[in-house]
Structure 1
Amino acid sequence: MIETWVGTSGYSYQDWVGPFYPPGTPPGRMLRYYAQHFPLTELNYTFYRVPTPHELVRLAEKAPRGFRYLVKLYQSLTHELSGNDLAPFREAVDAMAQTGASLGLLAQFPERFHNTKANRAWVETLRSGFPDHTLAVEFRHFSWDRDSVRRWLRDRNIVQVSVDVPPLPTIFPSKLILTDSVLYLRLHSRRAETWYADDKARYDYLYKDEELLEWVEAMRQARPRRAWVLFNNCQRGQAAINAERMQQLLRNFPQDFTLIPPPGSSEGSLFT
């Protein structure tokens, strides 16, 4: 059985009010409503500024018991390759981990981050910099699509993120990858024509059932111990719509998937 967690990349979006959140939902009530539908989320604001320990502990306390976070690393650690913010960032995520609300850390690298000796050394710096956390890396450049890279990551207990993206020449391709017992899948978009536009256009996409079922079947074949399935197509609530639909599709295969229920729902309260 595959222990499966489904959620979205972030949850606090004003344009989700209507498509997902009830009309009039203020930002302060979004998390509680979200946790009635999903058991985890990626924290995105931590990419834009270093959080304080108090902030992350407060987030852990605000969510229902059993809710979990995946924390995206600050941009200086993945885009500027600077270690100046590593210690304060570690202090914050260590504090959240002590509450039990953190599943791991996400290092999302840009497409310009190629597979080089220097860049592999930087990944190892991040691994050693967060020794007590599950570390997942998402590569955007195709040069990282090597069996040797997957072996190298496996030897260092680093999860390589699987992605769903358009088939473009230089980006890392869509495929299921296991370098650990955990599958971390991020579904971004299949809109090739807008991939190099701004972020809003890049991630403006609604997955069809047949596209989601491709991943359901891939997971059934790979049979990881645990799967984290996160939707990043966040425009107009499409990520939440697709995440809810993915949960519905997974329920059709109870012999393969143990779907983690939302802790804010009546079903989830039985498991927390």
Structure 2
Amino acid sequence: MGVIKVGTSSWADQLLVRSGWYPREVNNPAGRLGYYAERFPVVEVDTSYYAVPAPETTTAWVAATPSGFTFDVKAFSLFTGHHTPVAALPKDLRPAGGPSRIRWRDLSPEAYDEMWRRFRAALDPIAAAGRLGAVLLQFPPWLAAGDAARRQIVAAARRCAPWRVAVELRHASWFDGTTAVDTLTFLAEHGLTYVCVDMPQGHASSVPPIVLATTELAVVRFHGHSAAWTSGDKQEKFRYAYGEDELRHWVTRLTGLAAEAAEVHVLMNNCCGDQAQRDAARLAELLAERAVPAAG
């Protein structure tokens, strides 16, 4: 049976910092990451979606965490087809004039290649230390299933080689009826980890939580089930506490997933205050009660 690593999406969210989860004396970035890493074996880096970090920053992350700790790093928004603020790009690569938000095709091929080079340089210290779990390619909710979309996914994944790549798809067409089998087969054939997402259902961006491994690494992200999912208010969108029955149900599903994969990353993304940390801690306790192999 594979090992299960339970953690959260982010350790430095301002709502978390203000929640009181960190002791008063833990009051700087390195201290917070070190405190987090004493309690969880994996974390998702989401700040890299908004801006490519400097190698000095990621080197400091490695220094603040113990051997065996794992970072799953979300790819920069430009790489997955999202509209990206020009201000998020390094000054020397920003296109002159034009709109304030751009897509990847708005950059010259040379500038786009350079953005990828800098992203890879940022991840090199993490990978060199053996701490890089996977690069998370989270595609936008308007990316519908199709040949062009599949080519886009493969092209982005190749940019990350030889690192492991996890793919989160957020358009229902990828999982509509028998298309789900085609989607999972496509990911498996290209050595890409399918990201299972637990989220509110019944919305245009909803995808079902299919618990299945397409590679030796499986990833499950928990968004919660807030009734305000479409409100536009990030705090309300992720304001959700998983109940005991829900977590126990997921223990059974995750145990089955660990029988298929060598490693399972479970990431709580119901980031409202310290709720994600509390739910992650309880889920880890329940897995331990079932004697499921877990890192911690």
Superposed pair shares fold, TM > 0.5: yes
Distance 1:4 1:163 in 2: 16
**1:218-229 residue pairs with structure 2 within 5 A?**
218-222=253-257, 223-224=259-260, 225-229=262-266
Match of 1:243 in 2: 280
Match of 1:149 in 2: 183
Distance 2:245 2:268 in 1: 16
Cα 1:62/1:220, change in 2 over 3 Å: closer
Deviations 1:12-68 (Å, cap 9, x if unpaired)? 134334442224531332111111110111111111111222321221122122221
Matched, 1:214 2:277: no
Identity over the aligned pairs, expressed in percent?
29
Deviations 1:63-94 (Å, cap 9, x if unpaired)? 12222111110010111462712222122223
CA drift of 1:196 comes to: 4.3
Distance 1:102 1:126 in 2: 17
CA drift of 1:204 comes to: 1.1
Deviations 1:141-183 (Å, cap 9, x if unpaired)? 1111111011011010000100110112432112213211222
Distance 1:195 1:5 in 2: 30
Distance 1:135 1:221 in 2: 22
Q: What secondary structure, in the 3-state scheme, does the structure 2 residue paired with 1:103 have?
A: strand
Tell me whether 84-93 or 69-78 shows the greater mean CA deviation: 84-93
Find the structure with the greater CA-based Rg. Answer: 2
Q: What secondary structure, in the 3-state scheme, does the structure 2 residue paired with 1:184 have?
A: strand
Q: What secondary structure, in the 3-state scheme, does the structure 2 residue paired with 1:60 have?
A: helix
**1:252-267 residue pairs with structure 2 within 5 A?**
252-254=289-291, 257-261=292-296
Cα 1:14/1:24, change in 2 over 3 Å: farther
Mind listing any 5+ residue stretches in structure 1 that lack a counterpart? 262-272
Q: If the length of structure 1 is used for normalisation, what is the TM-score? A: 0.89
Q: If the length of structure 2 is used for normalisation, what is the TM-score? A: 0.82
Matched, 1:21 2:22: yes
**1:74-153 residue pairs with structure 2 within 5 A?**
74-78=76-80, 79-80=82-83, 82=104, 84=112, 85-145=115-175, 146-153=180-187
Distance 1:36 1:190 in 2: 28
Report runs of 4+ in structure 1 exceeding 4 Å deviation: none
* Partners of 1:11 and 1:34 within 8 A in 2: yes
* Partners of 1:57 and 1:99 within 8 A in 2: no
Aligned pair count reads 259
